[in-house]
Amino acid sequence: MVGTFTAPGKGSLRADAVLQAPEDGVPVLFVEVDNHTEPAATVAAKIDRYRRFFQRKVKDHQGRDVELWSTVWEDSGRGGYPPLALVFTKDVGPEARFNRMKKVAELSRDCWRGRWHCPGAEFGLEEEKRDGWREYEGTVPVIATHLDQLRTKGPHGPVWWRFGRTTWQPLNDALTNTDTPAEYFARSDARRAAREAQYQREREETRREQEERLAAHWPCPSCGRSVDPDHTDADGYRPEPGGLCPLCERTRRELEAERSATQERTGIVARLRTRAAER
């Protein structure tokens, strides 16, 4: 890519048209017309030439390196280089036409496809491992259409296919980047908010369940301790409503066992005395 805009060097880029519509958010749109006279690979190679042209740098008035195209046209602010529109003109039928578009897109993928970034790929949750954004810096947005579509629906109708997408879109939608960092961070913030909301719901549910369990407690009739109706002691004791706490129940059982043993001993002594008297 050599020469200047007014005196381009041999082999330099020569667009079929350069359109400007800043009122529509399109500071500049380069146009290539495809008459189906060249192989798809040749058309794809033109897209690479556009990318190399956009990469060319010159010195600005302060001696800084700037991209040559930015000294003539404004940046759209969408990210990436100025867009390129491919207008196919030959009437070969919708299927053959779209197959050619897809072939050109496949052969020029490195020029227009943004680099994928996935921060959670290694350590994130399952959804975060798949989510990320595309970095469009250094890429050429390519949109394609057919002349018949332009005639029928106009340039602002859903007649543009942005390379890498699945639907026909109006011009502004087709030129607007998707899978951007802003969209990713919005989704990330939404996931974080959803996790926090879930955590708060679980905390509230736990608190409510604890309050319900505490509400079912009663004071031990013996010592006044709070008695948990759901508690089962190691010996299998589970208090009945209004019953003793496990500690008092063990004490009661121990006292009961001691009284029974004392009564048993007393009975034995009494029987021995009776027998001795009978002799």
pLDDT digits (tens, 9 = 90+) for 181-218: 999 999 999 999 999 999 999 999 999 999 988 889 99
Q: In terms of Cα–Cα distance, which of 55, 48, 86 is closest to 69?
A: 55
CA distance 140 to 51: 6
How does residue 1 score in pLDDT terms, banded at 50, 70 and 90?
low
pLDDT tens per residue, range 3-27? 555 555 555 678 899 999 888 788 8
Counting runs of H as helices and runs of E as strands, what totals does the chain give? Answer: 8, 12
Check residue 267 and give its pLDDT: 72
- pLDDT band at residue 31 using 50, 70 and 90 as cut-offs: very high
Provide the token pair at 157: 């109708």
Q: What is the pLDDT of residue 24?
A: 79
Minimum mean pLDDT among 74-78, 175-179, 197-201: which range?
A: 74-78
User: Given the structure tokens 């299998």, which residue do they identify?
Assistant: 236
Lowest mean per-residue pLDDT among 3-7, 57-61, 192-196, 250-254: 3-7
> Who contacts 206 (Cβ-Cβ below 8 Å, separation ≥6)?
none
In this structure, is the dihedral angle defined by the CA atoms of residues 77, 80, 81 and 86, taken in order, positive or negative?
Answer: negative
Bridge partners of 116? 134
- pLDDT at 176 exceeding the cut of 70: yes
- Greater model confidence, 33 or 10: 33
Interval 121-172: pLDDT, tens: 766 667 777 888 899 999 999 999 999 999 999 999 999 999 999 999 999 9
* Over residues 255-263, mean pLDDT: 87
Q: Distance between CA 249 and CA 237 in Å, rounded?
A: 8
In terms of DSSP bridges, do strands 26-34 and 84-88 run parallel, antiparallel, or are they unpaired? parallel
- State the average pLDDT for the chain: 88
